[in-house]
Amino acid sequence: MDTRAKNSVVSFKTAAGFCPDCGSILPLLGGLGSVTCYACRRIWEAEVFGDMALSYNIEFNTKDTYKSTHGIEEDEDEADGPIVERKCPQCQNDTMSYATLQLRSADEGQTVFYTCTKCKFKETENS
């Protein structure tokens, strides 16, 4: 391990997380206990980060987050995507859900997959 950084004089005063020698931002502290500056390649101990701390919160969505809110009757089965007014050729239901994918080359249109919200009949349309 390089001890130059401990014993040398720093060039200027920087905020925590920046190289005291060249001023570049330092990479995150790994499991080794030291970091190497990307720019000047100096090795610094964890003290260069001062009393910085990282914290984060993970918030999970509830099942209710994904429920339909666009006025369609809830007694219909779960939709496979956004719902549009389109007649199902099999059961004559007036609503179908859809999803789109780019299956062909980029200069051609996308493929739309429709699913009946009542009988789950599926059909595709190349646009």
pLDDT exceeds cutoff 60 at 3: no
Adjacent-strand bridge partners of 30:
none
Angle, alpha carbons 116-121-122 (nearest 5°): 95
Least confident of 12-21, 28-37, 62-71: 62-71
90 or 55, greater pLDDT: 90
- Give me 29's structure tokens: 């502290």
* Number of helical (H) and strand (E) elements in the chain, helices listed first: 1, 6
Interval 7-28 mean pLDDT: 77
**DSSP state for residue 75 in the 8-state scheme:** T
The closest of 11, 6, 16 to 48, measured between CA atoms, is 16
Residue 8: the pLDDT is 52
pTM of the model: 0.39
Residue recorded with tokens 């739309």: 112
Q: In the predicted model, what is the mean pLDDT of the chain?
A: 79
